[in-house]
Structure 1
Amino acid sequence: MKNKIAITLILVLVMSLALVGCSKKSKKTSSDGGNIVYAVEAGSAGEAAAKEKGYQYNSVASQADALMEVASGTSDAAIIDLLMAGAMIGEGTSYPDMIHTNELTTEEYGVGCRKGSDLASYINKVFADTYADGSMEEVAKKYGVQESLVEQKEVEYIEAEDSDVSYIQGKGTLIVGITDFEPMDYKDGSGEWIGFDADMARLVAEKLGVEVQFIEIDWDNKIMELESKNIDVVWNGMTLTNEVLEAMECSNAYCNNAQVVVVMDK
């Protein structure tokens, strides 16, 4: 009798463990019934695209981590920015055995400032001037994003009564919130932040007459970082989503982009 009870208890335990294992799996499955697991950056446009399409996904800290998930086999595919895919996958890159397939969305990049900040207007003025004189295109060519530039129309900077520009000039530093995101913001061999966004932010700081400081942030907390004044601006290939536009004072769009699926080239 004791043996039968023991066997019964073991069977119950095995069945319980199996049920627990099933409960830990994401309930988000692809709308077409597939079982592909996508790696996406938390709080990104890629995550939003995965949610919208009902895909099963893993949220990770960055788009670079999403590519590592695919390389290690932890995820079947990644959803990342097209501009990043151009710099990070394919022949001569960090991931030569990966390719991008279908584009899930089309979108535009903008720079995010505090709600009501006149810094957005100041950045728009710099964008317009550098687009007109060709210096924005020269910076873009360094990082291979010149074909993605959005035309900038002439604008006028209007200083606000409670000026964020004056606040930044008073403290002498423009603090830029970023993530490691090639070709927009990433470190060179000496550890210095470079990239199209980093170079343009540095140019704005120069025109403001202040130093620039780059701080890596949790992308999911970018709005909170701005509002708490831990940073002055979010400048990291940020997609102009409805959420972003409602929560921040944003610059004009300056780059076209898309969310693409990245897989191993089998």
Structure 2
Amino acid sequence: MRRGLALLLTATLALSMTACGGSKGAGTQKSEKGDGMTYAVEAGSAGEAVAKEKGFNYNSVSSQADALMEVKSGTSDAAIIDLLMAGAMIGEGTSYPDLVHTTELTSEKYGVGCRKGSDLASYINSVLADSYADGSSQEIAKKYGVQDSLLEQEPCEFKQSDSDSDVDYIKSQGKMIVGITEFEPMDYKDKDDKWIGFDADMARLVGEKLGVDVEFVVIDWDNKVMELDSKKIDVVWNGMTLTDEVTKSMECTNAYCNNAQVVVEREK
């Protein structure tokens, strides 16, 4: 009797584990429609969305950097990551000299995410517009090699909320908390452990205009909306693709950069 119960419990546990969805740490998600390869993707990312849409077998990991490590180690056949990250992190002279990007799966645009209804998005739009007009954003883009992806910004005037102003809230706190993941060339650490990158530098520019400090906090990308709504962070500024899901759940800025989701594989 005990042996029968033990076998039943084992079978039930196995079935429940198999039924788990494609969230971070859930392992490989299998599909009969895929191409037979297993792709490493960042949980909650545009890359994961593409993998789901195309019916690929995929393995959700914590970051796009981890996705590259999966390919390097042979745990996954390929990764789906942002084109801008691929340009900075793979190929000759990088930590992944034997990796190449092949197929371009999507074309998309980056934006900055704030709490739904937040006037901070309008403020950031005004800074993006002014910095494009005076050439400072182009100079920052050249510094990190993303100048060809930068989008022209139309003149934009800040419209402050009559009540519950996030801009006033941030000023009262004396700092703007920016949610990020490590994502070269947008947000990454230099040899002195300082956050740098195009997005990091632009966030500091906004902080400077607001007269507040800027604090960078590494977040679980899958929980970015929750982090915003709970006010653990004030903004998501990390090469974020403006998907329908993102724009419905956040107050987003105008698009500021072109991007694509690409397949990265070991060079054959």
Say which SS state the counterpart of residue 142 (structure 2) adopts: helix
The residue type paired with residue 199 of structure 1 is D
Q: Secondary structure at the match of 1:202?
A: helix
Would the aligned equivalents of 2:29 and 2:58 in 1 still touch at CA under 8 Å?
Answer: no
Task: Give the alignment partner of residue 262 of structure 1, picking from 241, 261, 264.
Answer: 264
Partner of 1:247: 249
Structure 2: gaps of 5 or more residues: 1-6, 19-26
**Matched length:** 249
State the distance in 2 between where 1:62 and 1:30 align. 26
Q: Distance in 1 between matches of 2:96 and 2:66?
A: 12
The C-alpha deviation readout for 1:86-132, integer Å capped at 9, x for no partner, is: 00001111111100001111000000000000000000000000001
Please name the residue that 1:127 is paired with: 128
Which whole-Å CA distance do the structure 1 matches of 2:231 and 2:29 have between them? 37
Distance in 1 (CA, whole Å) between partners of 2:99 and 2:220 is: 26
1:26 Cα deviation from its structure 2 partner: 4.7
Could you list the structure 1 runs, at least 4 aligned residues long, displaced by more than 2 angstroms after superposition.
Answer: 23-31
Whole-angstrom distance in 2 between the partners of 1:173 and 1:27: 40
**C-alpha deviation, 1:213, in angstroms:** 0.2
Which residue number in structure 2 is paired with residue 102 of structure 1?
A: 103
The equivalent of 1:6 in structure 2 is none
- The Cα offsets for residues 134-159 of structure 1, whole Å up to 9 and x where unpaired, read as 00000000100000001100011011
The structure-2 alpha-carbon separation of the partners of 1:39 and 1:169, relative to structure 1 and needing over 3 Å to count, comes to same
In 2, Cα distance between equivalents of 1:170 and 1:232 = 13
Letter in 2 for 1:137: Q
User: Which structure: larger Rg?
Assistant: 1
Show the counterpart of 1:206: 208
- Structure 2 length normalisation: TM-score? 0.89
Report if the CA contact (8 A) 2:109-2:242 is conserved.
yes
Secondary structure in structure 1 of the residue aligned to 2:207: helix
Q: What is the DSSP-based 3-state SS (H/G/I as helix, E as strand, rest coil) of the residue aligned with 1:68?
A: helix
| Residue 35 (structure 2) aligns with | 34
1:237 counterpart (217, 236, 239): 239
**Contact 1:41–1:62 under 8 Å retained in 2:** yes
Per-residue deviation, 1:34: 2.6
State whether residues 110 and 251 of structure 1, in contact with CA within 8 Å, keep that contact through their aligned partners in structure 2.
Answer: yes
**C-alpha distance in structure 2 between counterparts of 1:166 and 1:26, whole Å:** 45
Between the aligned partners of 1:169 and 1:41, the Cα distance in structure 2 is 33
* Amino acid corresponding to residue 130 of structure 1 in structure 2: S
Q: Residue in 1 aligned with 2:161?
A: 160
The offset of 1:35, in angstroms, is 1.4
C-alpha offsets along residues 165-201 of structure 1, whole Å, 9 cap, x if unaligned?
0000011000000000000000000100000000000
State the 1:29 CA deviation.
2.7
Q: Secondary structure at the match of 1:105?
A: coil
- Aligned partner of 1:85 in structure 2 is 86
Structure 1, unaligned stretches of length 5 or more? 1-12
Identity of aligned residues (%): 72
* Cα deviation 1:198-240 (Å, max 9, x = unaligned): 0000000000000000000000000000000000000000000
